[in-house]
Amino acid sequence: MKVYRSPNKLRDLKPAAIALGNFDGIHRGHQALIGACIEAANSMDLVSAVFTFSNHPTNVIAGKNVIKNIITFDEKAHILEKMGIDCLFSFEFDQAIRTSTPGEFCRHLLFGALKMKEAFCGFNYHFGYKAQGNPDTLRRIGEELGYGVTVLPPVEIEGEVVSSTLIRKAVDEGNLDRYRCFTGRRYAIVGHVIEGRKFGRTLGFPTINLALDLSMALPPNGVYLTRTIVERKHYDSITNVGQKPTVGIFAKNAETHIFDFDRDIYGKDVRIQFIELLREERTFSLIDQLTAQIEKDCMTARELHQERRRNRREIC
């Protein structure tokens, strides 16, 4: 998949069917839209593409981070490539785009620069200055310029329209099953392993530490059953998300104990998939109490991992 991060670096583009939207989380609704785009591109001998922004327009307009990202750019690109997208346009929502009229956005950027021949968008898609453009606008301009427009209806699950807003709420509440239902994937965090205080090692439970990006949607503090992916290998694990109140107040991080694992992986990239919440984060008055609770948590986690394998319910 080719990735373009700026409209100033476009080279040798071919006519394309383009899915339009923010696509944060790439949920079931997004997947339906992107799938329709890919199918049309294949049948019409067009390049399949996605157009999105690298920064959220709402945050730019607000001047602060009011919308948290569900997945990172790298995760988004990886998912789109696996789905079969040929080309990803991920441009900055800058002043030029922000002030473009709907007509300018379609004529100069989508149709002109990106060679869009077929457009695919959701029922609630908006674009152009002050979000004045909508699917009807896209259709009207398409009739004038000669590109086709397909507007997909909302996707509902259990009577609710699937949206990025609902997915952020699921993450905020620690509702991991709901996240998986809406996206088809487990909630996960990714990042570099950083060197911590090695306090867990002194208790007999060595951990890896990931600093959490507070611009991302994050689950509540607590202890979670997890799976950790290191260099494409999957390991059973247990993860504490929080500030470690028993040993002092620290910045929110993710501290993971990987079962039957003793490698030094500082600086390496890992992916931690969250399966279920075991308990909320608590403060213990004595270190011995904390150690006893960690032992109990690890025993519970091992049993649950083994049970999942026995029931063949494990999905990596």
DSSP string, 83-113: HT-SEEEEE---HHHHT--HHHIIIIIIIII
CA distance 143 to 255: 55
Residue ranges per structural domain of the chain: 2-161, 187-310
How high is the pLDDT of residue 246? 45
DSSP calls for 261-313: -----TT-EEEEEEEEEEEE----SSHHHHHHHHHHHHHHHHHHHHHHHHTT-
- Closest CA relative to residue 282, chosen from 313, 241, 310, 251: 241
Length of the chain, in residues: 316
* pLDDT for the residue numbered 190: 92
Digit-coded pLDDT (tens) for 251-307: 688 999 999 998 888 888 999 999 999 998 887 766 777 888 889 999 999 999 999
The CB-side HSE value for 123 (13 A sphere, CA atoms) comes to 10
Q: CATH class for domain 2-161?
A: alpha beta
Q: Say what the pLDDT of residue 244 is.
A: 61
What backbone phi and psi angles, to 5 degrees, belong to 28? Answer: -60, -35
**pLDDT by residue (tens digit) across 5-19?**
999 888 889 999 999
Say what the alpha-carbon torsion angle 315, 186, 20, 37 is, to the nearest 10 degrees.
Answer: 10
Taking a C-beta distance cutoff of 8 angstroms, is the pair 278, 238 a contact?
A: yes
Q: How far apart are CA 205 and CA 245, in angstroms?
A: 17
| The token pair that represents 90 in the structure block | 């991920």
pLDDT single digits (tens) 197-252 = 655 555 557 889 988 888 899 999 999 999 999 999 999 999 999 876 444 445 68
Tell me if 91 sits within 8 A of 5, measured CB to CB. yes
Amino acid at 169: K
Cβ neighbour number for residue 214 with a 10 Å cutoff? 10
Taking residues 70-98, what's their average pLDDT?
A: 96
End-to-end Cα distance, the chain: 24
Q: Which fold has domain 187-310?
A: Elongation Factor Tu (Ef-tu); domain 3 (2.40.30)
Non-local CB neighbours of 269 within 8 Å, separated by 6+ positions: 190, 191, 192, 193
Q: How far apart are CA 291 and CA 133, in angstroms?
A: 58
Each residue's pLDDT tens digit, 41-82: 999 999 999 999 999 998 988 888 889 999 999 999 999 999
pLDDT tens digits, one per residue of 106-141: 999 999 999 999 999 999 999 999 999 999 999 999
Higher pLDDT, 227 or 316: 227
d(CA 25, CA 72) in angstroms, rounded, equals: 9
Which pLDDT value is given to residue 245?
47
Backbone angles phi, psi at 141, to 5 degrees: -70, -35
Q: Residue 310: what pLDDT?
A: 84
Of 129, 155, 314, 148, which is closest to residue 235 (Cα–Cα)?
314
* CA max distance for the chain: 73
| Coil/strand/helix, residue 247 | helix
The stretches of the chain forming alpha helices (DSSP H) are: 28-44, 57-62, 73-83, 95-98, 102-104, 135-145, 164-173, 176-183, 199-202, 287-310
DSSP reduced 3-state for 231: coil
Structure tokens at 237: 């694990």
